[in-house]
Every structure is written in C-alpha cells, then in structure tokens.
Amino acid sequence: MFVSLLSFSQEEDSTETVKYVQFSGVVVTGSELEPVPFANIVEKNSFRGTSSDYFGFFSFVARPGDTIIFTSIGFKKSQYIIPDSLVSARYSLIHKIEEDTILLKVKTVYPWPSKEQFKEAFLSLDFNDDLKRAQNNLDPKVLALKENAYETSGAVNFKWQMQQVSSQLYYAGQAPPNHLLNPLAWAKFIKAWKNGDFKRKK
C-alpha cells in the first residue's frame, strides 16, 4: 500500500531511461499533512536508504523500479514504487503515511495490599542516604575537579558532539566523501610537507 500526494520529475530532452535517480521528497502525516521527522526510508530487501530530517525532507540515490519502504514509530508501514520509465535523473514526491493506533490492555498495579500499609511504609522511608549522595555530587570541590579534567568547556564539548551527530545524519545511507580525491586537501598536504610540518622533531 502506498499513498503519494504529488510526484514529479525534471524533464530532459533524452528519451532513454536512466539507471539512477536522485530520489527526494517530504514525508507527511495522513490526517493534517504535517511533516514526519526522522522517518526511515529504505529500499526493499536492501540496506540502502536514509532518514528524513526534522522537517520530513529526505534525499538519496535510488534506481527506477525500486520499491521504497517508509516506516516511523506511531505510523503504518507504507511503500512507493519509483516509476521504471523515468528519463530524468531527479525524481521527487510528497509521501503520506497513516497514523497507527495500538490499543493495550488495561493493567492495574497495586504496590501494596492496602492503603494503610502503603501509608505506613511511605512514612517510614529514610531519605538521608539519597540526600547525602546528592549533596556530595553537588560539592563545589568535586565539580571543580571534574571541570579541570576536561580541556574545553561543556558548551564546546556539546557543540562538537552535535556536529558529529549532524555529520553522521547528513551521510546516512550513503558513503561519505573520499578526501583522497579532494584537490583542496591535497593542496593543504603539499603545503604542509613543504613547510616541514611532517619532519620528526628532536
């Protein structure tokens, strides 16, 4: 089952079908047409695919005739077949997925046989150990030691971690670029080699 609101490709003069297409689009909800963030979009019976971003947008390389599977938590699985008669190397669509409601059986949990026993146990709780542990964790000396153990601040570490995650999501489902073929990287390497940056320091 698949539902597509709108699909289109950029026309070209050639009438020959293409082998690969840049498959792009937006995943939206079936009820209010809101974007579905972080949905999984993969080619059927393979590991090739990607994930939609926060705004429901996705883009990856596919082949005409491929069956694309769309899945997301809280939504029904759906699929879309890319037309096998494309003459353009780019194909886009707005794909709609339906919400899935799972009803669970009602379970009633009774931690204590009676309210009186619960009240007695609750009033006899001892929170001294938890309070002491919290005070030790917030001790200024302990916090200062942990802060000095890192070369950079918490804000810089957080920014670096988010950059790593963003880089991984950007190339999700595709091979990252090979810097061995990057002319700028080679230029920096040759410049550093001429400056003697790779010489062994005594």
Domain check: are 58 and 130 in the same one? no
Domain check: are 53 and 12 in the same one? yes
DSSP annotation string for 37-68: TT-EEEETTSS-EEE--TTSEEEEEE-TTPEE
Domain check: are 153 and 69 in the same one? no
In a domain, 24, yes or no: yes
Region 102-120: mean pLDDT is 82
CB 32 within 8 A of CB 26: no
Q: Mean pLDDT score of the chain, rounded to an integer?
A: 83
Instruction: Record the tokens describing residue 186, joined without a space.
Output: 């080679």
Domain count, the chain: 2
pLDDT greater at residue 4 or residue 79: 79
CB 76 within 8 A of CB 95: no
Provide the residue range defining the domain that includes 162: 115-194
In a domain, 41, yes or no: yes
pLDDT greater at residue 68 or residue 201: 68
Does the structure show a pLDDT above 70 at 7? no
Percentage of residues of the chain with pLDDT beyond 70? 91
